[in-house]
């Protein structure tokens, strides 16, 4: 059950354990997981053997670099070759409590309850016993609907198993059951509100939604601003991956990154090409190893999502490191001077400057040194090119950890409207 933790309102004591204690706790769980998975999962054992490793050589998070990364395409193929679970199941099949199916298909067996994983996320978002919550995630095949449902119950809230679709019925339900909170995607909540207004309803006065929790889709700053400023809704987001069975990271009231569920998972940020772990602030692929799962022996699962770690203290009192948020997918990023520049992340920076109509990032490599140039179309107003360049570069460096070597302002006809944002012109002869 959740607990009131003094000044800070935390779900359990694990959220505020000391950093040294957390590292020791996590490494202990990782060692136990490696040994158990090696013993009980044929697929994991084969992975270790192929890498020439014994499980006792995995003693701390840094040691995971020695294992290969398993991605969804690998998992799908392994299940095809060894139905139904690809050799990762670690319990007798008759002991499986639930089986979920995610696209692929990937069959995901569950035994022990995972409701507290999402319970923490909902608790951090302020969900409590008084809340009536409409859960618009599907209860069909995907684990999302039922896992969120049970996480809400673990906070004492009352979930409505609405699932997806039937927009007018959803609005009627929200009205008649006096729904106080929404669980779903940002775009679906926006479409519900648009439909409600089309029906002649005043959303702020006639609907009672006070908070919203999102996952499965990026919560953009513009949508968050609309929901919070125009509709008075307190918004939160979380990040989960179905193949690993639960919530990986979640937002607190500070809304400045997502706290890792670091007593349930080891989360690495790695170079997707080499599998090498990256440092704080460096953008790379999110790679996940569950360390509290005796059912599913999956280790080093590559999500394909791009993020970076934030290690500064959080005002909420939770001590787990944060993800900055999901800023793109592997393949959306270009590596410049050893750092990934992600298209969506760059777009967010350029949107801060409405006077820049279009922009293209061009990457070249003169004299074997990466060089990045911003080619920008400015609107018709007068401007100080140096001042704007300095401001743009500062914002870009704050977000992407790199500066442009050159910033050029060009006429509108120099960049077509459909211009590709990032153009990698490097030659690797």
Distance, in Å, from the CA atom of 149 to the CA atom of 136, rounded to the nearest integer, reads 10
| Mean of the per-residue pLDDT values of the chain | 89
Mean pLDDT of 145-154: 91
Q: What is the pLDDT of residue 6?
A: 36
What is the per-residue pLDDT across 258-292, written as a single tens digit (0 to 9) for each?
Answer: 999 888 899 999 999 899 999 999 999 999 999 98
The arithmetic mean of pLDDT across residues 246-253, rounded, is 92
28, 59 Cβ separation under 8 angstroms? no
Alpha carbon distance 130, 396 (integer Å): 43
Q: Whole-model pTM above 0.85?
A: no
Give the separation between CA 36 and CA 66, rounded to whole angstroms: 18
Long-range contact set of residues 35-40: C-beta below 8 Å, sequence gap at least 24: 36/90, 36/294, 36/297, 37/90, 37/297, 37/299, 40/90, 40/91, 40/294, 40/297
For 292, counting Cβ atoms within 10 Å of its Cβ (0-12 exposed, 13-18 middle, 19+ buried), the class is middle
Domain membership of residue 411 (yes or no) is yes
Of 36-40, 181-185, 362-366, the poorest mean pLDDT is in 362-366
End-to-end CA distance of the chain: 60
Tell me the angle at which helices 42-50 and 19-40 cross, rounded to the nearest 10 degrees.
100
Residue 38 has pLDDT above 70, yes or no: yes
Six token digits for residue 321: 């490191």
Segments forming the whole domain that contains residue 359: 334-424
Q: Can you give the pLDDT at residue 203? A: 95
Residue 264 φ then ψ, to 5°: -110, -25
Looking at residue 280, what DSSP letter applies? Answer: T
Between residues 365 and 313, the one the model is more confident about = 313
Nearest residue to 321 via CA among 31, 23, 8: 23
120 CB neighbour count, 10 Å cutoff? 27
In the structure, what pLDDT confidence band is assigned to residue 373 with cuts at 50, 70 and 90? very high
Report the number of secondary-structure helices (H) and strands (E) in the chain: 11, 22
Identify whether 300 is part of a domain.
Answer: no
The conformation of residue 229, written as its DSSP 8-state character, comes to I
CA distances, 208 to each of 129, 148, 162, 319, 342 (Å): 16, 21, 17, 33, 38
Report the pLDDT value the prediction gives residue 113, as an integer from 0 to 100: 52
Residue 3 pLDDT greater than 50, yes or no: no
In this predicted model, what pLDDT tens digit does every residue of 81-137 receive, in sequence order? Answer: 999 999 999 999 999 988 888 777 889 888 765 445 789 999 999 999 999 999 998
Q: Beta-carbon neighbour count of residue 315 at 10 Å?
A: 10
Q: Give a yes or no: residue 360 inside a domain.
A: yes
In this predicted structure, the answer to whether residue 8 has a pLDDT above a threshold of 60 is no
> Helix H segments across 201-283?
203-206, 221-225
Cα distances from 175 to residues 55, 134, 231, in angstroms, run 55, 11, 16
Inform me whether the pLDDT recorded for 428 exceeds 70. no
Predicted pLDDT at 26: 93
Q: How far apart are CA 245 and CA 184, in angstroms?
A: 18
Residue 130 lies in a domain: no
Phi and psi based region of residue 343 (left: phi greater than 0; alpha: psi -120 to 50; beta: remaining): alpha
pLDDT of residue 338: 63
Q: Where are the alpha helices (DSSP H) in 51-138?
A: 72-81, 115-124
Does a structural domain hold residue 72? no
Residue 73's φ and ψ, nearest 5 degrees, are -60, -40
142 pLDDT tier (thresholds 50, 70, 90): confident
In a domain, 349, yes or no: yes
| pLDDT tier at 2, thresholds 50, 70, 90 | very low
For residue 398, the domain's CATH number is 3.30.300.30
How many domains does the chain divide into? 1
DSSP annotation of 267 reads: E
Read off the pLDDT of each residue in 6-12 and give the average, rounded to a whole number. 67
Tens digit of each residue's pLDDT (9 = 90 or more) over 181-212: 999 988 889 989 999 999 999 999 999 999 99
Question: What is the structure's pLDDT at 331?
Answer: 75
> Model confidence at 368, in pLDDT bands (50, 70, 90)?
low
In a domain, 328, yes or no: no
> Does residue 429 lie within any of the structural domains?
no
Q: What is the pLDDT of residue 112?
A: 63
Report pLDDT for 5: 38
């Amino acid at each position: 059950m959740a607990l009131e933790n003094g000044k800070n309102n935390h779900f359990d004591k694990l959220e505020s354990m000391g950093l040294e204690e957390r590292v020791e706790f996590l490494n202990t769980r990782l060692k136990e997981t490696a040994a158990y998975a090696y013993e009980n999962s044929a697929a994991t054992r084969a992975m270790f053997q192929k890498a020439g490793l014994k499980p006792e050589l995995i003693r701390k998070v840094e040691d995971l670099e020695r294992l290969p990364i398993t991605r969804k395409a690998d998992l799908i193929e392994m299940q095809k070759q060894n139905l139904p679970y690809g050799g990762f199941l670690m319990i007798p099949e008759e002991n499986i409590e639930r089986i979920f199916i995610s696209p692929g298909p990937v069959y995901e067996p569950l035994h022990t309850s995972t409701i507290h994983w999402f319970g923490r996320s909902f608790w951090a978002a302020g969900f409590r016993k008084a809340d009536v919550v409409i859960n618009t995630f599907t209860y069909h095949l995907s684990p999302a609907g039922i896992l969120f449902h049970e996480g809400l119950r673990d906070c004492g809230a009352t979930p409505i198993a609405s699932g997806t679709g039937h927009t007018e019925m959803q609005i009627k339900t929200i009205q008649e059951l006096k729904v106080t909170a929404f669980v779903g995607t940002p775009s679906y909540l926006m479409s519900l509100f648009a439909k409600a207004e089309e029906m002649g309803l005043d959303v702020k006065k006639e609907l009672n939604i006070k908070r919203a929790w999102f996952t499965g889709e990026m919560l953009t700053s513009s949508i968050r601003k609309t929901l919070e400023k125009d509709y008075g809704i307190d918004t939160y987001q979380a990040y989960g991956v179905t193949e690993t069975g639960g919530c990986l990271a979640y937002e607190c009231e500070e809304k400045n990154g997502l706290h890792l569920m670091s007593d349930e998972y080891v989360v690495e940020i790695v170079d997707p090409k080499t599998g090498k772990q990256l440092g704080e602030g460096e953008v790379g692929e999110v790679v996940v190893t569950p360390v509290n799962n005796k059912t599913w022996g999956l280790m080093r699962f590559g999500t394909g999502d791009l993020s970076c770690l934030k290690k500064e203290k959080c005002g909420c009192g939770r001590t787990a490191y944060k993800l900055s948020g999901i800023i793109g997918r592997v393949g959306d990023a270009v590596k410049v001077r050893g750092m990934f520049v992600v298209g969506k992340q760059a777009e967010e920076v350029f949107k801060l400057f409405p006077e820049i109509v279009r922009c293209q990032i061009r990457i070249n490599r003169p004299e074997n040194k990466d060089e990045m140039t911003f080619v920008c179309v400015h609107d018709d107003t007068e401007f100080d090119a140096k001042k704007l360049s300095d401001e743009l570069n500062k914002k870009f460096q704050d977000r992407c950890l790199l500066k442009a070597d050159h910033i050029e302002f060009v006429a509108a006809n120099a960049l077509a409207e459909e211009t590709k944002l990032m153009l990698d012109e490097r030659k690797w002869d």
